[in-house]
Amino acid sequence: VEPISVGLAIAGAAASALTGFISYPRLYCYFRECCLHRHDPRAAAALQQNLDKKLFGQHLVSKVVVKAVRGFLNNTNAKKPLALSLHGWTGTGKNFVSKIVAESIYKRGLQSKYVHQFVATLHFPHAHSINLYKDQLQSWIRGNVSVCPRSLFIFDEMDKMHAGLIDSIKPFLDYYELLDGVSYRQAIFIFLSNAGAEKITEVALDFWRNGRTREDIQLTDIQNALSVSVFNNKNSGFWHSTLIDRNLIDYFIPFLPLEYKHVKMCVRVEIESRGYAVDEDIVSRIADEMTYFPREERIYSDKGCKTVDAKLDYYYDF
């Protein structure tokens, strides 16, 4: 065999292995993050599993989020992007659930280049810059969905967001097939706010006072009251935006206020995540340090599970 033809054969094999490698998307995407083009059945299963395991005291949230996201990911012919609006008291798991949703779709979760998070007071702090923010936000969304149709956008503190800014994202949430040549129908938008938290607490408290269990609360018990209260709340940017009256929000998802037992569950998770054995005495002491409302019954933690990790620092020497 001529040395030159052996060389060519080796070069050819190497080249075809390389082309095979590059054109084999699953292998390629194993090493480098890729936009999700096709439905991956593992995404919905991972979402269900993680919510079941990690999210405490939110039976309505788990049910609705899994149904909504699974249905949307399975739908190859969605007519609009998915828009979820998460409502509830502080520290009840809204950001936590958004993170779990992000992680179920993209391995790198919130760090993924296809997941974009905005915090109203951080990214859009000045009312006088609203026009600039509008332009920036629209071109950011357009640019990112052009690169990856299955992009995820999370907007925190929606109740502090300027109504004009909310209106500027409205076209992306609508039923258009294409906007300037871009389709937004595979994108997912998650909006977080405390708007409606009082209403949700009222319903939960009613159940408690009537001796009914928290798990008896159905979505319908809360949902109508919630959309009306959020819509009529003059303090939240949501009320005068057209997102709600044009029915662009697909699901209103209520987060119930967390009870003493849920706070304890959060403390245990935090202790374990730091590699310590759970000491029930410390768990109770931390849960006891939190404050609870209403003043007479003291059922719900007024910070939810927030600040639990900070309190833990006091008990463990790092």
User: Which one among 50, 58, 62, 168 touches ligand ATP, defined by CB under 6 A?
Assistant: 58
Q: Is 65 in the site for ligand ATP (CB under 6 A)?
A: no
- Say whether residue 102 binds ligand ATP (CB under 6 A): no
Q: Is 95 in the site for ligand ATP (CB under 6 A)?
A: yes
Q: Which residue number, 176 or 315, has a Cβ lying nearer to ligand ATP?
A: 315
**Sign of the CA dihedral running 15, 17, 20, 22:** negative
- What character string, x for contact with ligand ATP (CB under 6 A) and - otherwise, covers 143-182? ----------------------------------------
| 104 within 8 A of 46, measured Cβ to Cβ | yes
Q: How far is CA 74 from CA 23, 37, 196, 265, in A?
A: 25, 12, 30, 33
Binding status of residue 307 toward ligand ATP by CB under 6 A: no
Q: Considering only 1-9, 27-35, 50-58, 169-177, which stretch makes contact with ligand ATP by CB under 6 A?
A: 50-58
Q: Does 57 bind ligand ATP (CB under 6 A)?
A: yes
Residue from the set 51, 55, 188, 271 that interacts with ligand ATP by CB under 6 A: 55
Instruction: List C-alpha distances in Å: 228 to 94, 195, 223, 224, 225.
Output: 20, 11, 9, 6, 5
Is the bond preceding 41 in cis, omega lying within 30 degrees of 0?
Answer: no
Cβ closest to ligand ATP, residue 186 vs residue 301: 301
| 273 in Cβ contact with 312 (< 8 Å) | no
Q: Which residues contact 160 (CB under 8 A, 6 or more apart)?
A: 120, 121, 237
Check: CB of residue 70 under 8 Å from CB of residue 47.
Answer: yes
Q: Choose among 160, 148, 80, 77: nearest CA to 116.
A: 148
Query: Applying CB under 6 A, which of residues 90, 146, 183, 223 lies at the interface with ligand ATP?
Result: 90
CB 149 within 8 A of CB 183: yes
Place of tokens 């109770």: 284
Of 50, 168, 194, 241, the one binding ligand ATP (CB under 6 A) is 194
Q: Is residue 87 a contact point for ligand ATP (CB under 6 A)?
A: no
- The mark string for 241-280 relative to ligand ATP (x by CB under 6 A, - otherwise) is -----------------x-------x--------------
* Interacting residue ranges for ligand ATP, rule: CB under 6 A: 54-58, 88, 90-96, 194, 258, 266, 304-306
